[in-house]
Amino acid sequence: MLMEDYLYRAMLYTKKQIKELIPYDDSFLWVDEVEKIESNSIVAYKQTSKDDEYFKSHFVDFPLMPGVLVVEGIAQTGTILLRERMGKENRKKHLLAYQVRSAFFYEIILPGSRIEYRVRMLGMYNEKIANFIGEAYCENSKKCEVRFSVAIIDKTELEKKTEDVRQKEKGGNILKMSSLPALKIGNIFSPIPIIQGGMAVRVSLHKLAGNVAKEGGVGIIAISGMRDPQEVKNEIRKAREIAGKKGTIGINIMGVIGQFQNLLGAALEEGVDLVIQGAGSRNDIFEMSKKYNVPVFIIASSAKVAKKAEEAGASAVVIEGCDAGGHLGFPEGHPFRKTIDIVKETVKEIKIPIIAAGGIFDGKDIVNMLRAGAKGVQMATRFVATDECDADKEFKKAYISAKEEDVVIIKSPVGLPGRAIKNTFVEKLMNNNAPSVNLSECEGCIGPVCDKTYCILKALENARKGDMKNGLVFAGSNVFRIKKIISVRELMNELVKQANQILSKDPLIQYI
C-alpha cells in the first residue's frame, strides 16, 4: 500500500497527554511518547532506565527487561491507536481484556534501552473486538512480535453489569436516589452531605459554622491556633445558638498542636457533635472522645493512612487530595494525587464511611465524589467567600480577586507543602526571604515539627485580620473561579440545586 493511501497526520503525544488516554500511574505506563499515526499504524517509544526497580526484582546477576512489560507497552500503544480511530466515541468506551494470541522474543532487551513500538490494527470484528500486531525494536533491531486483541465495551453497559454483580454479591437491593442523600454516620445526621471544612487560624469560627449547620450542612470550628480552652467552649456555644437544636457542629484540630488535649477536652465537655483531626492520628483522641460518645473523623491522603485510622477506631475518614487549600498531606517525595482517585482506591480497602475533600467546587463535583463511593464531601474554599465567614473582608477580597496564576504551592515550617494565594508575604517565602522568627516570642504552638523558618501562626493570623502584606492566605486550587461573596444560604442552595439537577436525570446508585 502506497503512503498516499493512508490518512496521514504527524502527531506527538507527550507522557502527560498519554496519561489522559491511559490513566495509569507512571509505574504502570509503558509508553512515553507517540511519534506518529498513519491510518491503522502507530509508532511510540519507551525509554527504560537502568535504575528502575523492575530490573532488580527477578534478574539480580544479569538484569533484563521483563518480557511482560514489553508486551504491556505494545498493548497500550495499540489502545492509543484504537482511541484515536474512535474519535469522540472514545469517551463512551472502555477498552478491556487484552488477549495475547502469540508473543515471540527474538533477542533480549537490556536496561537503559530505548524501545520503539510499531503497532498495526489488523481489523475490527462487529465493533467489539480489535485485532493487532505489534513489534518492539531497539536500534532498528526487531526484538519482539506480539499478536493481541482488545475488547471494546460501552461504559454504560459495563457499569450496569458491574452493578448487577455487586448486587448479587451483597445480596441486597439497588436504591436509586434522584436527589442528594442525607449524611448519616453513627449518631451524626445532616440533611445535606456537605461538611464545611475547618480553617485555622480563626477563619472558620461560630458565625460560619453555625450558619452552615443551620442550612442543613455540618459546621466546623477550627480550634488549632487557640490557646484558651474557654475560647473553644464559647465558639461552640455561639455556633449552637445560630444552628438551632438540630444543627450539627464539629471541630477541626491538628494533631501536632501543643495544647491538643486541653483544647480537645474543652470541646468535648461543651458537647461538640464530632471531631475532625488532621496532621496525623493520635491515640489519645480516640480515648478522650469515646468517653463522650463523640465520633472521630481522621484526615488522610492515602488508602494506607485511611486503613490505619480505621484500625485505630475512626468513625470515618476525610480523604483529602492535592487540590485542597492549606497544608497538603503529600510530604516531599510523595506525588500529588487527585481526591477522586484516592477515594476510589480507599473505598476498596476500608468499611467505614469516606468523606471526600479537596478541589470540590460545585454540585457536579459533589455528585462525582458520591458516585466514586464517598458518603459526603468537605468543602472549605467556597465558604470563605460568604458573608458569614469569620475572616476579615480583605481576606475574602483576596479570594475573589485571585487569578489562576496566583495560586501557588509554598513550603510550610511544619515540613509539608501548602497551597496559598500569591501576595507580598508569599513572594518573600518563594524568594527565601521570609521574616525570621523571634525565638524569645516563640510559644511552641506546634512543637518540634516546626523548623522555625517563619512563624506560620502569626502569618495566618495576620491574614485573617486583613493584613495582606504580612499574612499567609491559604486557599484551594479552584479559588480563582470564585467571583463574588454570597450568603451561606445562597451557596448551600446553589450546590444542592446543581447536584439535584444532575441526579434527577442520572440517579445515584446505592446498595441496601
DSSP-derived 3-state class of residue 208: helix
Helix axis angle, 339-346 to 303-312, nearest 10°: 50
Q: Half-sphere exposure of residue 61, counting CA atoms within 13 Å on the CB side? A: 0
Q: Which parts of 402-506 fold into alpha helices (H)?
A: 424-430, 456-464, 488-505
Q: Half-sphere exposure of residue 12, counting CA atoms within 13 Å on the CB side? A: 1
334 belongs to the catalytic site: no
Q: Which parts of 59-147 fold into alpha helices (H)?
A: 67-86
Which residue bears the cell 506518529? 36
> Which member of 58, 206, 327, 334 is catalytic?
58
Which residues, listed in sequence order, are joined to residue 278 by a DSSP beta bridge? 254
CA dihedral (296, 463, 385, 270) positive or negative: positive
Ramachandran angles phi, psi of 306, nearest 5°: -60, -40
Contact 32, 42 (CB under 8 A): no
CA distance 22 to 313: 37
Parallel, antiparallel, or unpaired for β 188-190 and 194-196?
unpaired
- Residue 193's alpha-carbon distances to 330, 353, 495, in angstroms, are 26, 12, 11
Query: In this structure, what is the dihedral angle of CA atoms 85, 91, 97, 100, given to the nearest 10 degrees?
Result: 20
Grid cell at residue 250 = 464539629
Q: Half-sphere exposure of residue 493, counting CA atoms within 13 Å on the CB side? A: 6
Which residues, listed in sequence order, are joined to residue 138 by a DSSP beta bridge? 141
Measure the CA angle with vertex 364, ends 215 and 305; round to 5°: 85
Measure the CA angle with vertex 154, ends 151 and 156; round to 5°: 145
Contact 249, 206 (CB under 8 A): no
Active site residues: 58
